[in-house]
Amino acid sequence: MFIAILKLFNRIFFKERSNTYILSVLFKKMSSGFLYGKINNINWYDLLNGGKQIRYKSYTRFLDYSRVPKLEESDLQEQFVKGCGPGGQATNKTSNAIVLKHKPTGLVVKCHETRSLDQNRKIARKILLTRLDNLVNDQNSLQNQKEQLMKRDSIKKKQKKKKLQDLKNAFVERENLK
């Protein structure tokens, strides 16, 4: 992103070839979470992104959380083990990986995503909860609910795209633009 901004500065300022530049840069984070900036009344957010808005759609408000099982600490067995993988000596000497076992179901999760033991414990619990939810609720698990919502949205997008293409084709035929 920073390199793209520098290239844009280059393109704008060296194109004009004037000695004086009034560079007023105003950065603010908008409520939508996008970086916004104006340089000499040029909106470079649109220049960099082509005016396209990049969005991540969240399905969390549509999910049914009532069936998600609760993790009891008495049902969990924690074991701290040495990590493996890239990192060399620092990874092989420290016991910051965690093996978490759910006693009633026998599910086992090993987590070594970060160097921090606390973060690995949190991540392991999230993974175990997701697996337990998939095991207990099967079709009604949060992961399956999210996948069903995503499928529904993709079908709607395909239908909308097909409808727009049909309208374009009808317009071209009606106006004899071929």
pTM above 0.75, yes or no: no
Q: Residue 89: pLDDT above 60?
A: yes
Kindly state whether residue 54 falls inside one of the protein's structural domains.
no
141: CATH:
3.30.160.20
pLDDT band with cut points at 50, 70 and 90 for residue 111: very high
Same domain, 112 and 77: yes
Look at residue 130 in the predicted model and tell me its pLDDT. 94
Q: Residue 52: pLDDT above 70?
A: no
Same domain, 34 and 73: no
Look at residue 31 in the predicted model and tell me its pLDDT. 40
Segments forming the whole domain that contains residue 103: 61-177
Same domain, 67 and 45: no
Same domain, 8 and 93: no
Secondary structure of 68-106 in HEC code, one letter for each residue = CCCCCHHHEEEEEECCCCCCCHHHHHCCCEEEEEECCCC
